[in-house]
Structure 1
Amino acid sequence: MRRSGLFRAALLATLGTAAAAAPAAAQDGARIEALERQLREMQAELSRLRREVAARPAEPRPGRPAETATARAAPRGRAPAATAQARSPADGGPPTATAAQAPSPAAAAGPSAARTAQARAPTGGSGGQPAASGVQSGSGQVAQDTDSAARSATTAGADAAGPGRVSFPSGRPTFTSGDGRFSAAVGAQIQYDIGGYIRDRRSTPDQRGTPHLNTFGENLRRGRLPFVFRYDDVQLNVTPDFGGSPDGDPSLYEASLNWTPLRALMVTAGYFKPWLTLGDATSSNDFLFLERPSVVEIARSIAAGDGRAAFGARWAEERWFLSGYLTGGNYGSQSSSEATPQQTGAAFRLAGRPVAAADWDLHLGLSGSLAFDIGRTAGGQNITLQDRPELRIDQNRLISTGAIPADGAHEWGPEFALRWRNFLLQGEYIRIGVDQSRSGTAPRPDLRFEGGYAEASWVLTGEARSYSTSGGAFEGIRPRQPFSLRDGGLGAFELVGRYSVVDLNDRVTRGRAAAATGGVFGGRQEVLGLGLNWYPSNNLRFMLDWNNVSVDRLNAAGTTQIGQRFDEVALRAQAAF
């Protein structure tokens, strides 16, 4: 009974310390529910530990009186807690219950109880830790949980005489060495899309000579297997991707080396996704719609995007986020026909959260990127800006500038997001510039394109999207009542809407050829979308999207309409851990 009372006291003291240290922004309903769920899990764990301790016989040491397991655990629990406190900032993790005070009763109760309390501590979300990876989707979340598992094992200290342990944080298989200094984890991200395009009658004037879109099809949009290896404050991320646009051509999403000398600072080198724009910073697991707005995809293709060679750092705090990277080409862009030098550029992002409360979050930011030198190929030094109509089942790109001879290109734009309880509104405006290469007497003026979007989310079941301080963007939804036939839970339901526009026309006049002005008929695309998302559990999501797409585009002579109007309907099944 005394041991049982000691464990209860340790539990209450640990939870009390964590609640006192939590930032004000984390005091919302979702965080309280998470703490209650963790309380139940900790109670079950402590019950198991009590049974183990009660069944363990006393082991006398040579030359010393016999000690009980409880007597040995008390002095040994304090030193590991101090070790965890000293290592927490370097590991990039949240402060533990021992970070602001003397050893807690949980540590005094034994290393197992301290390890359990630390492993159950909430991470991420509003006021959460910086992620342990330079990416948001796939390996970023795996890295975060690997870091948590490593810190938990470190707390064990002298009690970690064994070879290590295997845990499953958020469903991710994670191995942690006995001393907690090394950890390895593997995750998965599967996104499978089916759907098609419903066109107007082919006889309508705005469909002459345009591609016939796929009426029904499928695509493995993402099939990533992130592997994360960590030793002290150095981390290696390797993520192959067996999906794509289209699928069937496996590639590399990330291969990066990350160093975290301070909790808020992460230095990264390799192939990865540099932070850029709000739409880009949002994890692909947490999109409101199946795809990013087209203007975001076009902007990130200039000097950032997935699998980009880059070197730089990001600093992530509770209220602000800053990142900057020097960038090169994309993975796989090298070839024997490519002349030197390759593309060089840079990307930066600054974001802040001036309001962070239980019911409110306000996000403001600014980002930009610059290609100092456009990559050269056998066809010359060109840049092409284009995108599909915000769905990747058909691979036709209806808006495209074609190859533009260019010395450089850049983009920049402000970003905004506002959350009120279970309602979220966010958007961006992006301006794109291309510096055309001069050639003879042909007109080659500098070109300017623009676009933007606004999207909203309303969670019908009342859950709120949490804010990720590690990425400066909003995360997905964790259902209060996961779907269960036995318990009657339905999961979470989210209604979303979006309007996006991008204009790739510049320096042109209807009825006059683009060559005469040096401009581009790239087309103007508008998309109005509605969607319904269902979250049966934290790791599973189903998305149903409808988009109405209007593309206004003339041929290079400026005389014939080659755009079209159509609807898109698509369903995505997503599993991620």
Structure 2
Amino acid sequence: MSALAQEAVPPNEPDGVEWRGAMPSLRLADGAFTLTPTLRLDADAGSFFGQDRAGGYRSGVNLRRGRLGMEGQLAPGWTYSVVWEFGGPSPNDYGELYEAQVAYTGLGWGTIRLGAFQPQHLPEYAGSSFDLPFLERAAISNIAASLASGSARMAAGLEARGERWNASAYVTGGDATTPHDHRQRGVAGRAVALLPGLDVQLGLNAAAQFHPGTSPGPESIRLRDYPELRVDSRRFLDSGTIGADSAWAAGPELAGRLGPLYVEALWQRVEVDATAGGTRRFEGWYAEAALPLVGNPRERSAETGSWKRPKGEDGPGALELAARYSTADLRADSRGARQDVWTLGLTWFPTESVRLGIQYENGRIRRGGDDRDFQAIGLRVALNL
């Protein structure tokens, strides 16, 4: 949910329709109920080259996100959000529910949230994807989140916060965008705190899946991800389908600012309790840095325990240069693959609602005798209202 839905409405404003930023807002019952439409569009283009084997990644274009919804206040202390998704890695002609949640914010120190939403489980999932330094999250973040969190997760949880700390815990079900996933059961959580006297945050996060459900098959788990660019449906980073009783992922995280330079790192151990062949152990990590070339550096959000996109002054906006190395190893018993990607990105935020990004990738997929090298250029034009 955007900050717009959580802004306090002045009590003496009249009911009716008014403009808040670029969107109209409906106000009723002396502000007890509000409704504001939301719109998110991410249009991507990607070109792969330098591939040394046939049948590799294909270049293309994609409506990565096409979200239309509404959000606001249901009653004092209660907020809501409903969002429909018309984009995605493999867009279809009917769309799907992305978010439908209610939240009680009257605790002051925390929020109780229920429905289909994005739990604050990992650094790259704690805040909005509009704030990410790159076009996509690192592969290991998506793999760990796929167990019990990620976008559009059916969940109920508590998000608590202080000036220098943030913690969250959820019980979760399936993914609202995945058919036949309703039997999945799990838990996810995160706890972070700023170091004394520093703008650097340390934390731990974990997720466990106790009931794999029926997707991709009866009581099974499949870990996989894209090459950190989503214009092709192929995913060579793939563990294959594993019959499983349960799985978990956990690890430390670090994020913060050293002067204007923003740094972030994450390591995850993933274990799958397979029904045949014993426990499968995987791991991955990433490290990244982002430097503002124009505008102000990133600032921490106490609400999410993450660093929001840089803000620019009037005129040119904000321009940020970022670099990342990420790796995810899903190899076990001569199956699976490992992916390593170096990424360099440049992002321009001409306004608070518009994002223009370009990134270069240099990656390698290792999977037995079918190793693959690739390079790619990715472009994005994004609008967030």
TM tier, shorter chain?
A: over 0.9
Deviations 1:429-475 (A, max 9, x none): 0110000114xxxxx12111000000110101241111111111000
Aligned to 2:219, the other structure's residue is in SS state strand
Aligned to 2:63, the other structure's residue is in SS state strand
- Amino acid paired to 1:576: N
- Amino acid paired to 1:308: R
User: Is 1:497 aligned with 2:340?
Assistant: no
User: 1:16 aligns to what?
Assistant: none
**How many Å separate the matches in 2 of 1:195 and 1:434?**
33
Q: 1:212 to 1:378 in 2, by over 3 A?
A: closer
User: 2:27 aligns to what?
Assistant: 176
**How many Å separate the matches in 2 of 1:334 and 1:499?**
33
User: 2:108 aligns to what?
Assistant: 263
**How many Å separate the matches in 1 of 2:325 and 2:343?**
6
Deviation at 1:254, TM superposition (A): 0.5
Structure with the bigger percentage of helix = 1
2:46–2:229 CA contact under 8 A, matched in 1 = no
User: 1:540 aligns to what?
Assistant: 354
**How many Å separate the matches in 1 of 2:31 and 2:317?**
35
Greater length-normalized contact order (CA 8 Å, ≥ 6 residues apart): 2
User: Is 1:567 aligned with 2:381?
Assistant: no
1:453–1:498 CA contact under 8 A, matched in 2 = yes
2:5–2:79 CA contact under 8 A, matched in 1 = no
- Amino acid paired to 1:490: P
Match of 2:80 among 233, 236, 259: 236
Deviations 1:32-81 (A, max 9, x none): xxxxxxxxxxxxxxxxxxxxxxxxxxxxxxxxxxxxxxxxxxxxxxxxxx
Aligned to 1:402, the other structure's residue is in SS state strand
Aligned to 2:72, the other structure's residue is in SS state strand
**How many Å separate the matches in 1 of 2:237 and 2:151?**
21
Deviations 1:387-444 (A, max 9, x none): 1110101110011111101000000011101203321011100110000114xxxxx1
**How many Å separate the matches in 2 of 1:381 and 1:152?**
48
Q: How does 1:95-134 map to 2 (within 5 A)?
A: none
Q: Number of residue pairs matched?
A: 383
Q: 1:225 to 1:421 in 2, by over 3 A?
A: farther
User: 1:306 aligns to what?
Assistant: 151
Match of 2:64 among 197, 213, 221: 221
Larger gyration radius, structure 1 or structure 2: 1
Once the two structures are overlaid, the 10-residue window that deviates more, 180-189 or 401-410, is 180-189
User: 1:247 aligns to what?
Assistant: 91
Aligned to 1:146, the other structure's residue is in SS state helix
Aligned to 2:330, the other structure's residue is in SS state strand
User: 2:135 aligns to what?
Assistant: 290
Deviation at 1:275, TM superposition (A): 1.5
Match of 1:187 among 38, 45, 51: 38
- Amino acid paired to 2:365: V
User: Is 1:398 aligned with 2:236?
Assistant: yes
Match of 1:365 among 203, 209, 225: 203
Aligned to 1:179, the other structure's residue is in SS state helix
Q: Which runs of 5+ in 2 are unaligned?
A: none
CA root-mean-square deviation: 1.8
- Amino acid paired to 1:219: N
Once the two structures are overlaid, the 10-residue window that deviates more, 389-398 or 419-428, is 419-428
**How many Å separate the matches in 1 of 2:151 and 2:30?**
35
- Amino acid paired to 2:305: G
Q: 1:291 to 1:332 in 2, by over 3 A?
A: closer
**How many Å separate the matches in 2 of 1:551 and 1:274?**
30
Q: 1:332 to 1:243 in 2, by over 3 A?
A: closer
Q: How does 1:478-557 map to 2 (within 5 A)?
A: 478-481=311-314, 489-506=315-332, 508=333, 514=334, 521-554=335-368
Q: How does 1:84-483 map to 2 (within 5 A)?
A: 140-141=1-2, 144-148=3-7, 151-154=8-11, 156=12, 162-169=14-21, 171-177=22-28, 179-201=30-52, 207=53, 211-214=55-58, 216-230=59-73, 231-249=75-93, 250-335=95-180, 342-355=183-196, 361-376=199-214, 379-438=217-276, 444-481=277-314
1:370–1:410 CA contact under 8 A, matched in 2 = yes
Deviation at 1:164, TM superposition (A): 3.5
Q: Which runs of 5+ in 1 are unaligned?
A: 1-139, 202-206, 439-443, 482-488, 509-513, 515-520, 555-560
1:146–1:174 CA contact under 8 A, matched in 2 = no
Aligned to 1:529, the other structure's residue is in SS state strand
2:251–2:266 CA contact under 8 A, matched in 1 = yes
User: Percent of aligned pairs with the same residue?
Assistant: 32
Q: 1:267 to 1:199 in 2, by over 3 A?
A: same
- Amino acid paired to 2:30: D
Structure with the bigger percentage of strand = 2
**How many Å separate the matches in 1 of 2:238 and 2:140?**
12
